[in-house]
C-alpha cells in the first residue's frame, strides 16, 4: 500500500513538472496580484508595508485556487480515476496523496516566493518572516480544503471558476488567522502564537477533513 | 474460483437497463456479454468492477479473499485507456504495476509481449489508438488479478493485436483465471459462455 501511495505522489509530481501550468503559473499569478496593488492604492511605502501581509495572503489564496479543478477531473477524463479506484488503497489516502502532490507543486512555490514579493511591498524583515511562516502553515489548509472542490469538479466539466467560488468561502477562517498572526508579529499587541496555533489547527483539520470529504464526494457523484 | 451474480439490477440516469440478471462464471471460463448499443454492457462491467453501485442484487467472487472487494481482484479495461500522455510508455506501465501491485512479470517483458518494447521511452501521447490499447492491455500482465473485465478489448487493435489478445486470454484462462468481455465480435477462444443483453432487459 505504501508503494502504491508513493507511486501516486511520484506520478502526480512528474506530471506537474512535465505538463506545466502548475507551480510556475501560480507564482507568476501571485506576482501579478502583488504588483498591481501599488497601482491601485498608490506607491506610499508606509501604507504598503501596513497592508502588505494582507495583500500577500490574498495573492497566495487566489493563486492556490488555480489548477484546483484539474486534480481529479484530469484523471476522470482519461480513465485514470477508474484505475485509482481499483487499487487496493482507500480512496481517502489516494485523495490525500494527490493533495500533497498539488501542495508541493503549487503551495510550496508560493511560500518560497512570498518573501521576495514582500520586498516589493516594502515589508520589514520581521513581517517577511511572519508572512512566510504563516503561509507555510496555512497553504496546506487551502490545498486540502480545496480538494473538496476539486472532487466536485469531476461532475462539472469546465467547472474551474465554479470550484474557486465554492472553495473561497471555506478559506475565510484561514485568511483571518493567517493575516492576524502576521499583524501580531509586526505590531506586538497580541502574542503571535495564539492566531498562529489556530492557523496550524485549521491546517491539521483540513488535512483530515479534505481527503475524507473529497473521497465521499467522488463516490457519490461519479457515474 | 467462481464469479457469482444474483438478481443484479442496474439503473442509469433514472432508466432501468436490466434487472434480475444472474450468472456464474467459473475459473477458466469467459463470459461474453453481447447486445445492441445502449443495452448496458459497459454498465454491467462497471458494476462488476465496483465502479458503479448496483440498484439491487449481489456480486461475489467465491474462493477470493472475503475481506477484499471484487474490484480489487479484478482488472477493468474500459473505453478509456487510462494512459497519461505526458508520461512515457514505460512510466505508465510502471505506475500501474506499483499502484495495483506487481507480479512476477516485469514491465519490459509485458511491453515486449504486446509489441511495444521499442516505444518504451516515448511519451504515451505519441501512441496511436491501437498502441494505447496495447499499453492498456499490458496492465493485465504486470499485475496478476484473477478476474478480467474487458470492455470491447479489441477496439483499434490490428489483426496481429487481436491474436495477441486471444493468446493472452487463453493463457489467463488456462491458469485458472476468469474473464467477462463485452464484445460485438466473436472471441477467438474456447469455453465461451454468452449472455445477451437486450434493450428491454435480458433476452
Tell whether B69 is within 8 A of chain A (Cβ): no
Predicted local distance difference test score (pLDDT) of residue B151 = 92
**Contact state of B98 with A19 under an 8 Å Cβ cutoff:** no
Which residue is listed with cell 485549521? A202
Which one of A14, A82, A88 has the shortest CB-CB distance to B82?
A82
Predicted local distance difference test score (pLDDT) of residue A223 = 67
For the stretch B87-134, pLDDT in tens is 999 999 999 999 998 888 888 888 998 888 899 899 999 999 999 999
Q: CA-CA-CA-CA torsion for B153, B159, B163, B164, nearest 10 degrees?
A: -70
Give the helix, strand, coil percentages of chain A, each rounded to 5. 85, 0, 15
**Contact state of A3 with B98 under an 8 Å Cβ cutoff:** yes
Neighbours of A119 (CB within 10 A): 11
Residue spans of the domains in chain A: they are 2-221
Predicted local distance difference test score (pLDDT) of residue B93 = 92
Task: Give the span between the Cα atoms of A68 and A80, in whole angstroms.
Answer: 17
| Torsions phi, psi for A95 (to 5 deg) | -60, -40
**Contact state of A14 with B50 under an 8 Å Cβ cutoff:** no
Tell whether B159 is within 8 A of chain A (Cβ): no
For the stretch A122-165, pLDDT in tens is 899 999 999 999 999 999 999 999 999 999 988 887 777 888 88
A59-A8-B127 Cα angle (round to 5): 100
Give the DSSP letter string of A40-101: HH-S-HHHHHHHHHHHHHHHHHHHHHTTTTHHHHHHHHTTHHHHHHTSSS-HHHHHHHHHHH
Residue A1 has pLDDT above 90, yes or no: no
Tell whether B4 is within 8 A of chain A (Cβ): no
Residue A48 has pLDDT above 60, yes or no: yes
For the stretch A101-117, pLDDT in tens is 999 999 999 999 999 99
Domains and CATH numbers, chain B: 2-202 (3.40.50.300)
Farthest CA pair distance, chain A? 58
Q: Is the dihedral of CA A163, A90, B76, B44 positive or negative?
A: negative
Predicted local distance difference test score (pLDDT) of residue A58 = 94
The three-state secondary structure class of B63 is: coil
- Burial (CB < 10 A; 0-12, 13-18, 19+), residue A12, is buried
Confidence of residue A66 (pLDDT cuts 50, 70, 90): confident
User: Of A173, A182, A26, A208, which Cα lies nearest the Cα of A99?
Assistant: A208
For the stretch A156-196, pLDDT in tens is 877 778 888 889 999 999 999 999 999 898 888 888 889 99
Which residue is listed with cell 490525500? A96
**Contact state of B87 with A4 under an 8 Å Cβ cutoff:** no
User: Of A167, A142, A158, A180, which Cα lies nearest the Cα of A217?
Assistant: A167
Predicted local distance difference test score (pLDDT) of residue B38 = 85
Length of chain A equals 223
Task: Give the DSSP letter of residue A169.
Answer: G
Neighbours of A39 (CB within 10 A): 8
Neighbours of B181 (CB within 10 A): 24
Name the pTM for this structure. 0.90
List residues bridging with B201 in a β-sheet: B198
Predicted local distance difference test score (pLDDT) of residue A7 = 93
- Rg of chain A in Å (alpha carbons): 18
Q: What is the least distance, in Å, from the CA of B133 to any CA of chain A?
A: 13
Taking 70 as the pLDDT cut, the residues of chain B under it are 200-203
**Contact state of A86 with B75 under an 8 Å Cβ cutoff:** yes
Predicted local distance difference test score (pLDDT) of residue B64 = 76
Which chain A residue is nearest to residue B70, measuring alpha carbons? A86
Predicted local distance difference test score (pLDDT) of residue B200 = 61
Give the helix/strand (H/E) hosting A143. Answer: helix A125-152
Length of chain B equals 203
Tell whether B35 is within 8 A of chain A (Cβ): no
Task: Give the span between the Cα atoms of A166 and A161, in whole angstroms.
Answer: 9
Predicted local distance difference test score (pLDDT) of residue A117 = 93
Predicted local distance difference test score (pLDDT) of residue B192 = 77
| pLDDT higher at B64 or A74 | A74
Assess contact for B195 and B18: CB atoms under 8 A.
no
Predicted local distance difference test score (pLDDT) of residue B202 = 53
Tell whether B72 is within 8 A of chain A (Cβ): yes
Amino acid at each position: 500500500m505504501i508503494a502504491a501511495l508513493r507511486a501516486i505522489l511520484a506520478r502526480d509530481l512528474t506530471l506537474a513538472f512535465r505538463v506545466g501550468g502548475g507551480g510556475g503559473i501560480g507564482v507568476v499569478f501571485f506576482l501579478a496580484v502583488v504588483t498591481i496593488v501599488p497601482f491601485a492604492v498608490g506607491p506610499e511605502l508606509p501604507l504598503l508595508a501596513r497592508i502588505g501581509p494582507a495583500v500577500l495572503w490574498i495573492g497566495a489564496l487566489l493563486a492556490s485556487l488555480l489548477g484546483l479543478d484539474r486534480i481529479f477531473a484530469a484523471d476522470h477524463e482519461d480513465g485514470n480515476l477508474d484505475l485509482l479506484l481499483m487499487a487496493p488503497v482507500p480512496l481517502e489516502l489516494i485523495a490525500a496523496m494527490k493533495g500533497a502532490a498539488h501542495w508541493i507543486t503549487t503551495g510550496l512555490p508560493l511560500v518560497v516566493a512570498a518573501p521576495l514579493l514582500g520586498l516589493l511591498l516594502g515589508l520589514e524583515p520581521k513581517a517577511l518572516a511572519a508572512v512566510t511562516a504563516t503561509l507555510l502553515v496555512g497553504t496546506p489548509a487551502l490545498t486540502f480544503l480545496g480538494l473538496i472542490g476539486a472532487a466536485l469538479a469531476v461532475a462539472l466539466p469546465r467547472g474551474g471558476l465554479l470550484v474557486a467560488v465554492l472553495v473561497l468561502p471555506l478559506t475565510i477562517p484561514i485568511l483571518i488567522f493567517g493575516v492576524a498572526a502576521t499583524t501580531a508579529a509586526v505590531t506586538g499587541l497580541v502574542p503571535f502564537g495564539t492566531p498562529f496555533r489556530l492557523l496550524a489547527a485549521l491546517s491539521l483539520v483540513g488535512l483530515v477533513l479534505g481527503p475524507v470529504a473529497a473521497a465521499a464526494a467522488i463516490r457519490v457523484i461519479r457515474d | 474460483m467462481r464469479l457469482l451474480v444474483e438478481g443484479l439490477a442496474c439503473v442509469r440516469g433514472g432508466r432501468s437497463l436490466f434487472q434480475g440478471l444472474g450468472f456464474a462464471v467459473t475459473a477458466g471460463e469467459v463470459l461474453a456479454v453481447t447486445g445492441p448499443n445502449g443495452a448496458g454492457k459497459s454498465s454491467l462491467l462497471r458494476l462488476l468492477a465496483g465502479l458503479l453501485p448496483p440498484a439491487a442484487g449481489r456480486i461475489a467472487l467465491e474462493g477470493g479473499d472475503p475481506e477484499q472487494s471484487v474490484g480489487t481482484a479484478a482488472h477493468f479495461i474500459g473505453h478509456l485507456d487510462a494512459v497519461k500522455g505526458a508520461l512515457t510508455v514505460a512510466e505508465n506501465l510502471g505506475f500501474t504495476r506499483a499502484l495495483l501491485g506487481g507480479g512476477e512479470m516485469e514491465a519490459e517483458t509485458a511491453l515486449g509481449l504486446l509489441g511495444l518494447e521499442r516505444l518504451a521511452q516515448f511519451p504515451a501521447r505519441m501512441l496511436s489508438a491501437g498502441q494505447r490499447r496495447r499499453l492498456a492491455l499490458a496492465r493485465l500482465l504486470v499485475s496478476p488479478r484473477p478476474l478480467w473485465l474487458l470492455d470491447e478489448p479489441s477496439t483499434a487493435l490490428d489483426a496481429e493485436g487481436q491474436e495477441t489478445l486471444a493468446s493472452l486470454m487463453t493463457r489467463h484462462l488456462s491458469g485458472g483465471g476468469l474473464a467477462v468481455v463485452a464484445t460485438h465480435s466473436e472471441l477467438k477462444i474456447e469455453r465461451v459462455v454468452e449472455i445477451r443483453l437486450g434493450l428491454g432487459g435480458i433476452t
